[in-house]
Amino acid sequence: MSYRFSVGNGGSLASSLNLFRRVTNSLKLSATLHKIRQLFHFAPWRSAPIYAIQKLRPPLDSLDKSRESVLGDIDAELIAEEIRQDSVAILGQLPADFVSRLRKITDQLPPEEYQLVHQVNDDVRHLTQDPGIKKVLRAYLKSEPVLLEASLFVSRSGQSPREHKQNSFHFDYAGWASLNLFVYLTDVDEESSYHIVAKGSHRDIKIADVLKGSISLAEADTRFGGAIKNITGPAGTVFFENTEAFHRRHFGSGRRVMLNLLFSSHRSLLSRGRASRKKIARRDREFQKLDAL
């Protein structure tokens, strides 16, 4: 009996170890594949697919001529040029009525990342289709933009017990060319978890950066120094940022809500975004609760 027990235990230990090894190996494999994909993405030949997409999917400017934008009268070419130079362009604030309507919902959401929120909120959906925003995207990408993600990040009011990957300088990418539109939906000051970007850094991604994935604050300081910009501002502050710029979230306190719309020059098999069934179900539950109020 005791023999059988010990064999059974050993067997289950062995199978657990096996499972652990398989998981570790598959994680290593997926990390390696991720690095290979990144190296391919940031290689010098990238200008060829970017150019091809611009030819295959030219901007459809004529579609939006008659509608007004929440951004008011803007010079899209000038903003696009600013993003090319600085990685970021802060546009100011969205109209107060738009912000307060959206905040009636977002002020009540518990801390979480809510994905594809344009599917459950009309204001966010309108923002994703806004002619002024599209104009900037078209001027920058020189192709017809595609929305890949529309996420609301609601952080806790107290300081998070540990630092997050978002607290160290890193870059993201989506498709061959992409832009984020960020909107603060709470007032964000020096105490808050404000967004930080290294201006112009999307033009300075090195192979070592791709292999490391993130860089230390000291390295960022040496490389980018005065180009590092803390972005604070009242609720409604809106800014565009190149997805590939080095950025991070300040390790601050206070509840912060930020909308992140991610647009790309195209959609590919690899542009799945981060939406998960579990998170979408959670999003639906929370938004339904608020609709019922």
Which residues would be at the binding site for Fe ion (CB under 5 A)? 172
Between 54 and 178, name the residue whose CB sits nearer to Fe ion.
178
Q: How far is the CB of 224 from Fe ion (least distance, A)?
A: 16
Q: How far is the CB of 180 from Fe ion (least distance, A)?
A: 9
Report yes or no: 261 and 128 within 8 Å, Cβ to Cβ. Answer: yes
Q: How far is the CB of 3 from Fe ion (least distance, A)?
A: 55
Report yes or no: 245 and 85 within 8 Å, Cβ to Cβ. Answer: no
The CA radius of gyration of the chain, in Å to the nearest whole number, is 22
Phi, psi (5° rounding) for residue 249?
Answer: -105, 130
d(CA 199, CA 209): 16
d(CA 79, CA 73): 12
Between 76 and 228, name the residue whose CB sits nearer to Fe ion.
228
Between 163 and 172, name the residue whose CB sits nearer to Fe ion.
172
Q: How far is the CB of 42 from Fe ion (least distance, A)?
A: 16
Residue of minimal Cβ distance to Fe ion: 172
Which tokens is 270 given?
Answer: 């690899």
Between 77 and 172, name the residue whose CB sits nearer to Fe ion.
172
Report yes or no: 232 and 160 within 8 Å, Cβ to Cβ. Answer: no
Between 76 and 153, name the residue whose CB sits nearer to Fe ion.
153
Q: How far is the CB of 166 from Fe ion (least distance, A)?
A: 6
Residues for the chain: how many in total?
293
